[in-house]
Structure 1
């Protein structure tokens, strides 16, 4: 079991990701924004892994990962996104998170989180 923080501003996607990960045996904390995620971390402690949407209002997923890594530089992260232009790909790669392109299956998500938990940083990325 992995303690996973899921951050996505779209409630249906956030709930689905949380449901899939919980069904796979993980403990999930979910937030709809960077501010909500940071408040949850302050309240409940750092997770063992984080699943982040990139395109969110205000602080996006890449910026949020930077703020979370100020607290834990080795925090494993997985970006789930539809953004594939060169600028976004470069930002995600430079942030050091794995990438799982939307749409994806439950199996793909759970496998990627299991790899994160096993220390396989960069799951799905071109690192």
Structure 2
């Protein structure tokens, strides 16, 4: 299973996502903010996939992913936005960054499928497909 970083400012949602992903066998680390997520990555290295909320105070999930994408070593980090924001411009911005976009409330099977899809995309890109 994958190493997953969950970036979510709402503690209840963060805990729910963590529990669901651990229940699926993933190894999960979480951060309550964008700056803390960047610190986790700097300290522990990149996860295999990152799950981000879009709307967070201080630094949005979009800003976190843009910051990571600007670093060559994280340019292809698989990412999934899990957000209550369903505005077309938010979805388009996430997709432009190469991320999958799911909306809250979420279905665990959809999140599990998105993680699998994100990891498969990365593996195929690495293999030159």
Q: Tell me if both proteins adopt one fold, taking TM over 0.5 as the criterion.
A: yes
Q: What is the aligned partner in structure 1 of residue 44 from structure 2? A: 44
Return the structure number with greater helix share.
2
Tell me the CA shift for residue 87 of structure 1: 2.4
Unaligned runs of 5+ in 1: 122-127
- Note the C-alpha offset of 1:11: 0.5
2 CA distance for matches of 1:92 and 1:68?
13
The structure 1 residue matched to 2:107, chosen from 96, 105, 108, is 105
Give the structure 2 partner of residue 84 of structure 1: 86
Which portions of structure 1, spanning 4 or more consecutive aligned residues, are displaced by more than 2 angstroms?
A: none
How much is the aligned-residue C-alpha RMSD, in angstroms? Answer: 1.5
1:93 CA drift (Å) = 2.1
1:50-99 deviations in whole A, cap 9, x for unaligned?
00000000110011011122241110100011112232122112222100
* Unaligned residue ranges in structure 2 (runs of 5+): 124-129
CA deviation after TM superposition for structure 1 residue 10, in Å: 0.3
How many residue pairs align between the two structures? 121
Q: Residues of 2 paired with 1:59 and 1:43: CA distance? A: 19
**Pairs within 5 Å for 1:1-127:** 1-69=1-69, 70=71, 71-119=73-121
Q: Distance in 2 between matches of 1:87 and 1:105?
A: 23
Q: CA deviation at 1:119?
A: 2.0
Contact kept, 8 Å, 1:20 with 1:110, in 2: the verdict is no
